[in-house]
Amino acid sequence: MPDSHLDPPGAVDAIRIRMELFGYTQTDLAALLGARSRASEILGRRRGLTMAQANRLHREWHIPADIPIRPLHVP
């Protein structure tokens, strides 16, 4: 029998969903995270979020706190 439990999105997926839903751009994300290169690295899954960045995403973009603090599996 298939498992009906769906895992919540990872941090990058949650960020992308929030960007799409609210019309945020990568520039908006860069302003929140402190640098355009940092936003690009995070969206490209080359860098994980710091706790401070995860807290900002929770406070400012209302992404549930448990999502951005999950470890990112960098390829």
Residue 20 CB neighbours (<10 A): 9
DSSP single-letter state for residue 10: -
Dump pLDDT digits (tens) for 5-59.
Answer: 666 678 899 999 999 999 999 999 999 999 999 999 999 999 989 999 999 999 9
| Residue 48 to residues 1, 10, 37, 40, 68, Cα–Cα distance (Å) | 35, 11, 13, 11, 9
Q: What pTM was computed for the model? A: 0.79
Please identify which residue in the block is written with the tokens 């390829």: 75
